[in-house]
Amino acid sequence: MGNRYFEVLERASSFLEEQGIEGQSILFVFLERKNWSKTDWLIHLKDEMPEEEEQQLETDLALLADHYPAQYLLGYADFYEQRFSVNEHTLIPRPETEELVELCLKENPDEPLTVVDIGTGTGAIAISLKANRPSWQILAVDISVEALRVAEGNAKRLHAAVDFLQGDLLKPLEGKAIDLLISNPPYISNDEWRLMDESVRTFEPKTALFAEQDGLAIYQRLAQEAPKILAPKGKIYLEIGFQQGKAVKELFQQAFPGHVVRVLKDLSGNERMVAVTPDEKAG
């Protein structure tokens, strides 16, 4: 008699824990490959595991033990109720970024607006906004040709009419008037780099993660360039590192003295977003 599901998974999970890796990651990959819910798992956990499934699990386990991210292994990540293709040219979309999308949607109605997503990666932000605000004209910019290829594929598969532009930050947008600018830019500093999870440091694209000037370099450039293209009543929504709220707020308050700059916390209680919006009292 062969091995039962729960025995194989328990061994695999313990093996990962011994390597200092989250043991649940192998169960996550296994359930995704089987397209099983937690209920399916409970029903079948004492069933015998077919040999070819055990071989697939061994392959997955070896990669996870080498700190390879589960989402790259599967080739996709879920974000804001949609599934996005991911690979090593794109950052894996994070739950905190869903909160940035949520904030932007909550504060802006479905009326014709020109919206730009800077550093789009998989296209997760731009495509999620388009799915929920069909009347917005959405442009998505990335410096990486490979990332844009992934983003364009995601937009096509998810039937999202987003225009993709290759270039450095706001350069491809010269001469345009933007109503909303949203971005999850690289913001990890030299000091924080060594604290990052090994899977992030080894496999995710460094240009999408890492920034000079204590992680503030991209915000400095955005604060410098955005006033040239943002409409007078335009708004900016940014994801930030949890220690950057004060510095990013100061940068954008100087660049937009007529706007209100707010630092907002994520569900974990960390400062995670900056919103730059017109001062309604002044208007």
Please check whether residue 161 lies inside any domain of the structure: yes
Please check whether residue 264 lies inside any domain of the structure: yes
Please check whether residue 219 lies inside any domain of the structure: yes
Please check whether residue 76 lies inside any domain of the structure: no
pLDDT of amino acid 1: 53
- My answer on whether 93 and 60 are in the same domain is no
Please check whether residue 82 lies inside any domain of the structure: no
- 142 assigned binding-site residue: yes
**Number of domains observed in the structure of the chain:** 2
Q: Spell out the residues 6+ positions from residue 13 whose beta carbon is closer than 8 angstroms to its own.
A: 23, 24, 26, 27
- 114 assigned binding-site residue: no
- 5 assigned binding-site residue: no
Please check whether residue 253 lies inside any domain of the structure: yes
What confidence tens digit (pLDDT) does each residue in 103-147 have? 999 999 999 999 999 999 999 999 999 999 999 999 999 999 999
211 residue type, one letter = A
pLDDT of amino acid 233: 93
pLDDT of amino acid 201: 76
pLDDT of amino acid 279: 83
Give CA–CA dist 107/73, Å, rounded: 36
Please check whether residue 221 lies inside any domain of the structure: yes
Residue where a domain stops, chosen among 34, 66, 98: 66
What confidence tens digit (pLDDT) does each residue in 202-233 have? 876 676 664 567 678 889 999 999 999 999 99
- 122 assigned binding-site residue: yes
Percent pLDDT > 90 in the chain is: 82
Can you give the residue range of the structural domain that contains 209?
Answer: 88-278
- My answer on whether 101 and 28 are in the same domain is no
- My answer on whether 95 and 12 are in the same domain is no
Please check whether residue 178 lies inside any domain of the structure: yes
- 119 assigned binding-site residue: yes
Q: What is the pTM of this model?
A: 0.91
pLDDT at residue 43 greater than cutoff 80: yes
Output the domain CATH number for residue 223: 3.40.50.150
